[in-house]
Structure 1
Amino acid sequence: MAMASEGGQGKDGDEDMGSASEELQAVLQPYILRRHKTDVMKKVPPKEEVVIEVEFTRLQKKIYRSIYEKNVLQLANNQVIKAMFVNVSMELRKCCAHPYLIQGTEEAQLSSQAADPNDLNTVMTYLVQMSGKMVFLEKLLPRLKEDGQKVLIFSQMTRMLDIIQDYLRWRGYMSERLDGNSSSTDRQAAIDRFNTPCDDDPHFDHSPFVFLLSTRAGGVGINLTAASVVV
């Protein structure tokens, strides 16, 4: 700063920097395409956001009420330490996503229905019927597939992604997945497979129909241009 204030050298330095910046832009211009958001958005259809309230299944209602009633007195009397409150909140969130995320629920449910745990169709049917969100996906995905859409499904819980992935395999839907365990190589390969169609007719396209993403791993460096629906 002392040198810049002596003899007007600061002004000359600013002019030199401006000249160098212009020269650099001229050199890079043939190699870098710069677009403003306003230019790009003209080619992108407007986002349509639809909020759908999904009803609890009977099992979800039962488990949610059980968790609440078990802890309501302590919550009301401010006897809950922060760690316990977080645990209760997490159990309720699991129940909202799928009751099978709560340890022992799947085994107890199959046992109460005298269902054969080795019968895939029976197991998967219960997996769908026990969660309101899975019931919704069971209705939504066939319609989107018929319309030639490609779908992104996000979840904060990787175990929920496991459940959805099992369901997609059962229904024969091709899918890709990206979570915290995905390497950078696998990550890019999955993105490329999802974005590259294998057939001109979307109804007979053998490229992945669904991309499963964890919210943490799917927020940075992802370019899924083929997707048209986000769940």
Structure 2
Amino acid sequence: MSSYWAELASNSNGYYQEEDFSMAAYRLVAEQVIYYADLKSRKAWGIIEQYERSIAKVLAPLGITLGVDRQLMFAYAIPQHASPTMATVPQTLFALVLRGLYEEGMRAGQLSDESGEIFCDFIELQEKYRLMTGRELPPKGELESLIRASRRWGIVRRVEPGDSHLPSVDIESEDGGIAIRPAIRVILGESALQQLALWQAPDNSPSSLPDDIEPEQPEQGDTNEAS
């Protein structure tokens, strides 16, 4: 494989090194989503976007499909044969609520022009969570754990009050809020919205995420976090 990366590096006229290609491919598989909006991911995004076909050829034998959204500028890796997940019920429900909030935000025209994200402070999140599920939003410690899990899946990032990346967004909660990221529409497809609707019935308790999400990814620290 190193010879394959070396050939691509050679064709880049020295702009990229061999390890740049291997690291970009590794990060894509490990993190599932790479966003141009994240400053630390811009080199990886540039490689994946420019050499999409070559990297897709490497991932195909592993049963992984590569996708690139050039409009919202993110790349994603989806397993073709998703295995049963170990997501907890709270993680499942939180992810489904995020999916519903993203769809709702799109309809309301709240989509960020630059990143394709939907911003939500904790005051709104608490209200929407209750309306969508009939349950109270988990307490702060558990909520932060749910946000970390969702961040590993590439579908959300944490937002602090006064975040410099949000010049036009009013975050009312003193604890900040979250940014729901556009890849959630890929990671959690239309079936997720149907699952969310099931939670309106008190007897339903789905215990796993939809088949088109793969949450069992290695934890890579805060590499999905914008810097």
Instruction: Report if TM-score (shorter chain) is over 0.5.
Output: no
Greater fraction helix = 1
Is the strand fraction higher in 1 or 2? 2
Scaled by the length of structure 1, the TM-score of the pair is 0.27
Which has the greater radius of gyration? 1
